[in-house]
Chains A and B, each alone.
Chain A
Amino acid sequence: MSMSSEAAKRGQTPQRIGLGRLKTRAEIVVEYTLLIFFTVCFLIPFFWLVSESLKSPSELFEVPMLWWPRVPQWENFALMFTSFPFLKYLKNTLILVAFVILGSIISNSLVAYGFARLHWKYRDQVFLLVLVTMVLPFQVTMIPLFLLFREFGWVNTFLPLIVPHFFGNAFFIFLLRQFLLGIPFELSDAAKIDGANEFQIFLRIITPLTKPVLATIAIFAFLNTWNDFIGPLIYLSDHSKYTLALGAQQIMDDLDPKWNILMALGASMTVPVIFLFFIMQRYFIQGIAMSGIKA
């Protein structure tokens, strides 16, 4: 910014204030133009997902491309149920989602309580270890875990995709701990004087207060499981056990990937998540914003 607007800020001659306003207005126009341009860029692939999911197979390959199908092929979505086991894969995915949410809520509530509400030696050093495990790439532990679960006879079951979630997740522990540290300790002390033991305080007094964070955790656990691909790919070999994400990818290995069904499937896997986002936006944004700020 140059002379004019600074002069305007200092409130000098009326003419200069006019110039400053003009400059501010020009800035705002530029900013809106950029924002609208990038928002359109963010949205185009979504529009494309919907448009492609309603095209006939031949329209998909047409050159030049069609922005919108001549006649929307709603039967692409019907075909998803008849020539693709959509309901079965949806059921498998939802079973995983339910157990992962359950495990995440129980285990991380307990662990975060231990790190936030109890005082013990080396607590903060141990907590640093929790944070370190957050940056461990999946691929580093992938092979030995696969071999271990194979020993257990767990390959081709849901267990490798569920059980680890009952043992805490560094990111969730971190989120909950931040929240728990903010709850007044007088609450716990008062309960202690009334004769409550630590577990009763945890269950009856503190946990009910953490509901907003638990909602955030449930959402993230849902998203991670709904979107997970490499886990099911490694552990599930039997078609009847596939999740939606794995099932979708497997169509592409067919000789004739039915692209119209695939696009309908893509739209069906995405729309519910976006719907969920708009109704629970508060929990999404809070959880994400919190993670970066308090870190």
Chain B
Amino acid sequence: MKPGQFVSRKDFRNAMLFISPWIIGTLVFKLYPILASFYYSLTEYTVINPPKFVGLKNYVELMKDDVFHKSLKNTLYMASIGTFITTVFAITYAILLSDKRLRGLSVLRALAFIPTLVPAVVIGILWIWVLQADNGVINTLLGYIGIEGPGWIADPAWAKPSFILIMLWTCGGAIIIYIAGLQEIPESLYESAEIDGAGKLRQTFSITLPLLSPVILYNVVTLLINVFQWFAEPLIMTNGGPDNETLFYSLNLYRHAFQYFKMGYASAMAWILLIISMAVIIVLFALNKRFGHNESY
């Protein structure tokens, strides 16, 4: 008998008992809400009166809702440009933090990680002051080198880039995961590349990035899910302003659900979010399968 190969009816019963919390939790806290959300999205529901079936009216109205379009665009901006910049930075920084010729790396890693520990509410409160136009840290430092800084979150053109700065400040989790991923890449690959005369840049694109692709996929998916859910910082720092430039998808959804009490309309938004996030993730996995390096190394 091979170890660990007791396959029996009793085993199945035991397994179901062990995972029963997850089964119940998934049915009640995931599956039911997803289905109920779809039902509510077909109704007009103000909480006070029972839901009234209206068919696809909410979806039709969403298509015509300029504020909805704006919020979707804002979130897609962060999901594309914000995620791209953050990913490039996190990988580059992880490569720097993996250079074995340097000393003190563990301290520098820890310091890159600690911003991720700051509660979202505190990030919001703090960054209002960091980004303050006339007496904030960033503009003061820019002033020292003769640059007049923008109005950041007060300026419609700079509001979303301000939030990208926060994404960069809090990307330490991704950096740590990239470092761990880099450590899995065998040193011998770089040595043979060196002998074949491949330069550092070539090595990065031909060895590091392909072998890192499963880790990149994981981090990008995590980042995207966070972008789709981004709520506390925009609510606190800008409450969607100026000119709805930072009215992100989840903030808009929250407003419709819990400030305007349009539960049906907000549920339609939730379903669209579900479809978008699933689509994005399926595309990413497909891309990874097509171009990424998945064999174990």
Contacts and interface: CB of A to CB of B under 8 A. Distances in A.
Contacts of A9: 194
A145 B15 contact: no
A229 B11 contact: no
B204 to A, nearest CB: 11
A289 B177 contact: yes
Contacts of A61: 135
B154 to A, nearest CB: 15
A195 interface: no
A295 B231 contact: no
A166 interface: yes
B209 to A, nearest CB: 15
Contact of A31 (B96, B110, B115, B277): B96
B37 A133 contact: no
A234 interface: yes
A175 interface: no
B263 A147 contact: yes
A226 B32 contact: no
B273 interface: yes
A189 B3 contact: yes
Looking at chain A's contact residues, the main secondary structure is helix
A45 B122 CA distance: 11
Contact of A42 (B36, B112, B120, B140): B112
B21 A249 contact: no
Interface stretch (A11-19, A74-82, A110-118): A110-118
A133 B30 contact: yes
Nearest to B24: A167
A213 interface: no
A143 B263 contact: yes
A192 interface: yes
B33 interface: yes
Interface string B98-135: 01011000001111111101111110111101101011
A45 B110 contact: no
Contacts of A52: 126, 129
A140 B278 CA distance: 12
Given A119-B5, A137-B225, A137-B273, A44 B137 contact: yes
A239 interface: no
Contacts of A277: 110, 113-114, 117
A42 B115 contact: yes
B26 A129 contact: yes
A269 B114 CA distance: 13
A263 B128 CA distance: 11
B108 A35 contact: yes
B59 interface: no
Interface stretch (B80-88, B145-153, B179-187): B179-187
B140 A167 contact: no
A227 B169 CA distance: 17
Given A39-B111, A266-B125, A114 B117 contact: no
B218 A295 contact: yes
B140 A292 contact: no
B33 A140 contact: yes
Contact of A118 (B18, B110, B125): B18
Contacts of A63: 134-135
B173 A143 contact: no
B179 A143 contact: no
A144 interface: yes
Contact of B21 (A110, A199, A295): A110
B180 A293 contact: yes
B277 to A, nearest CB: 6
Most buried by A among B19, B135, B225: B19
A95 interface: no
Given A31-B99, A227-B119, A137 B229 contact: yes
B270 A139 contact: yes
Given A140-B33, A192-B6, A248-B121, A64 B140 contact: yes
Given A119-B5, A270-B117, A111 B19 contact: yes
A68 interface: no
Interface in B221-261: 221, 225, 228-229, 231-232, 235-236, 249-250, 253-254, 257-258
The 10 closest A-B pairs by CB, nearest first: A167-B25, A185-B4, A114-B18, A292-B177, A289-B180, A141-B33, A144-B36, A65-B135, A114-B19, A168-B22
12 contacts: A2-B199, A63-B134, A114-B18, A126-B19, A143-B263, A144-B33, A144-B267, A168-B26, A263-B129, A274-B114, A289-B176, A295-B218
Interface of A: 1-2, 6, 9, 24, 28, 31-32, 34-35, 38-39, 41-46, 48-49, 52, 60-65, 107, 110-111, 113-115, 117-121, 123, 126, 129-130, 133, 135-148, 164, 166-168, 173, 184-186, 188-189, 192, 198-199, 202, 223, 226-227, 229-230, 234, 245-246, 248-249, 252, 262-263, 266, 269-270, 273-274, 277-278, 281, 284-285, 288-293, 295
Interface of B: 3-7, 11-12, 14-22, 24-26, 28-30, 32-34, 36-37, 40, 47, 93, 96-97, 99, 101-102, 108-115, 117-122, 124-127, 129-130, 132, 134-137, 140, 143, 169, 172-173, 176-181, 184, 194, 197, 199-200, 214-215, 218-219, 221, 225, 228-229, 231-232, 235-236, 249-250, 253-254, 257-258, 263, 266-267, 270-271, 273-274, 277, 281
